[in-house]
């Protein structure tokens, strides 16, 4: 895990810094260096319009990382919220959400993404929404499981007995404890 994290950090740092320090703009057309091979001036060569491949790769990596991070953050927030509501209230809400999760996990993602990209013009916002629309199910299941466990503990029962409404119990007591427990579990499972 450490090596993967180090590689991701290095790629992110390169994606952020290289476009600012590159001597070539990513969209500069240089007809004198069309399809130049990799060399000292162009480390990855150039394309059919003479644009520097290295600069274009790192500008694209910056955009891809931003879309991936924004989509993952949106999916985590959506999944944690829906899973918390389903786990806390149980009953029909829980059953309906879990059936929706099962349905979404059964859908083949790639053909759906191809159809959506053919219908809609793939902008950054559309791509973030697509990433989050097909990635919220796992955080929802994890949050639901933690909330099912936490809602029966004494501190949750005490908050309810003191008159706290359900949104306050979920937001102030259940979710922070669920987040702390899952990060603690991840930290010690990766160390062993």
Query: What does the alpha-carbon distance between residue 172 and residue 146 come to, in Å, rounded to a whole number?
Result: 15
Give pTM, 2 decimals.
Answer: 0.75
The Cα angle at residue 109 between residues 105 and 114, in degrees rounded to 5: 160
> Any residues with CB less than 8 A from the CB of 93 and at least 6 apart, and which?
85, 86
The predicted pLDDT at position 182 comes to 56
User: What residue ranges of the chain have pLDDT lower than 70?
Assistant: 181-192
Bridge partners, residue 52, by sequence? 46
- Domain span at residue 157 reads 2-191
Token pair 């991701």: residue: 8
Q: Which string of b and e fits 62-81 if b means at least 16 CB within 10 Å?
A: beeeebeebbeebbbebbbb
At 96 the pLDDT is 92
Query: Where are the alpha helices (H) located in 90-151, listed in sequence order?
Result: 91-106, 109-119, 124-133, 137-150
Domains held by the chain: number: 1
pLDDT, residue 132, reads: 92
Q: pLDDT value at position 152?
A: 84
Provide φ and ψ at 52, rounded to 5°.
-70, 120
């Amino acid at each position: 895990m450490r090596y993967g994290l180090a590689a991701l950090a290095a790629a992110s740092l390169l994606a952020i810094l290289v476009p600012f320090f590159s001597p070539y703009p990513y969209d500069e057309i240089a007809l004198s260096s069309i399809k130049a091979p990799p060399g000292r001036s162009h480390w990855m060569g150039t394309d059919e319009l003479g644009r520097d491949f290295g600069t274009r790769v790192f500008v694209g990596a910056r955009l891809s990382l931003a879309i991936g991070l924004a989509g993952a953050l949106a999916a985590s927030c959506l999944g944690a919220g829906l899973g918390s509501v389903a786990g806390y209230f149980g009953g029909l809400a829980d059953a309906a959400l879990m059936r929706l999760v099962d349905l979404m996990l059964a859908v083949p993602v790639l053909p759906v993404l191809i159809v959506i990209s053919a219908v809609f013009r793939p902008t950054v916002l559309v791509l973030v929404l697509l990433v989050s629309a097909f990635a919220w199910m796992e955080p929802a299941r994890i949050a639901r499981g933690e909330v099912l466990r936490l809602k029966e503990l004494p501190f949750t029962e005490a908050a309810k007995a003191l008159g706290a409404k359900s949104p306050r119990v979920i937001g102030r007591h259940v979710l922070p404890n669920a987040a702390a427990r899952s990060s603690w579990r991840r930290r010690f499972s990766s160390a062993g």
